Amino acid sequence: MRPEIKISIIGAGNLATQLGITLFNEGYFISQVYSRSKKNANVLSKKINANAISDIKKLSADASIYIIALKDDAIEIIAKQLKLKDKIVVHTSGSIPMDILKNSSSNFGVFYPLQTFSKTKKADFKTIPICIEANNNTTAITLQYFAKSISGNVNKINSLQRKKIHLAAVFACNFSNHLYGIAEKLLAKEKLSLDLLRPLIEETVNKIKDKKPCEMQTGPAIRGDKKTIKTHLNLLSKDKDLQKIYKLMSESIINSKKNK
């Protein structure tokens, strides 16, 4: 069903590792793995039967798709050094413009998997949403086929949408994680563990599986329970930063109720 195509992976970090392993297991032939660190390139390339390079000039032209899975800052530096004619070149970032690749090839795009990765934890790409974007129709079609060969959740999006998705992910994931951290510190001061809140945290996520989050909002702010809000602000009197967050989030919840 799938054409016999070669992939090269530029990067050997968390995403590069999980994506490389997934593509290899799906039967793709991985030509090269590039990393600034020869050691990291070696580690990944051994796992996926590829050649390791640590000098980008040694990137061969034998692959059909080049995946730049590097940190945001490094993408532009590497992109400037690529001259891949009409080979497909993609980056994997939620926040970097697609056009950063316009001088690397005539066919370029974005392949943005919406998940957080680690080198050691096996990622199941089948359930990971992949957002793709391309500079022309042919590249878009190829990238759709390519993404669908590993994920059941492929979405064609434009640059503004991708930016908004990334922004929404910062709110829903980065900021939530920080709130878990705040909760942990508040509990630790009373010699209590975050484990106490784990079932409640998990249920909060379960509840939005089939309902809108705003319909599932609970707590003192949505109830208009000023007494509890005052008690909580008093408990936070020694930590003005947390007090500010509590106030601002509570006001935002109250306003969202008004605007409903």
Near a copy of itself in 131-190, by CB under 8 A: 131, 155, 157, 160-161, 163-184, 186-187, 189-190
Report, in Å, the least distance between residue 242 CB and a copy of itself.
8
Nearer to a copy of itself by Cβ, of 56 and 187: the residue is 187
Of 18-26, 39-47, 53-61, 243-251, which segment contacts a copy of itself by CB under 8 A?
A: 243-251
From 61, 77, 141, 196, residue interacting with a copy of itself (rule: CB under 8 A): 196
Report, in Å, the least distance between residue 3 CB and a copy of itself.
28
- Which residues, 77 to 116, sit near a copy of itself by CB under 8 A? 95, 114-116
Coil vs helix vs strand at 49: coil
**Residues paired with residue 67 on neighbouring β-strands, in sequence order:** 9, 90
Q: Alpha carbon 115 to chain centroid distance?
A: 4
Length reported for the chain: 260
Q: How far apart are CA 237 and CA 94, in angstroms?
A: 38
DSSP H helical segments within the chain, as ranges?
A: 14-25, 38-47, 72-79, 137-148, 159-169, 176-189, 198-207, 220-223, 226-235, 240-258
- Which residues, 22 to 81, sit near a copy of itself by CB under 8 A? 72-73
Report, in Å, the least distance between residue 98 CB and a copy of itself.
14
| Distance separating the N- and C-terminal Cα atoms of the chain | 49
Q: Pattern 210-239, binding to a copy of itself, x per CB under 8 A? A: --xxx-xxxxxxx--x-xx--xx--xx---
Is residue 200 near a copy of itself by the rule CB under 8 A?
Answer: yes
Cβ atoms 76, 103 nearer than 8 A:
no
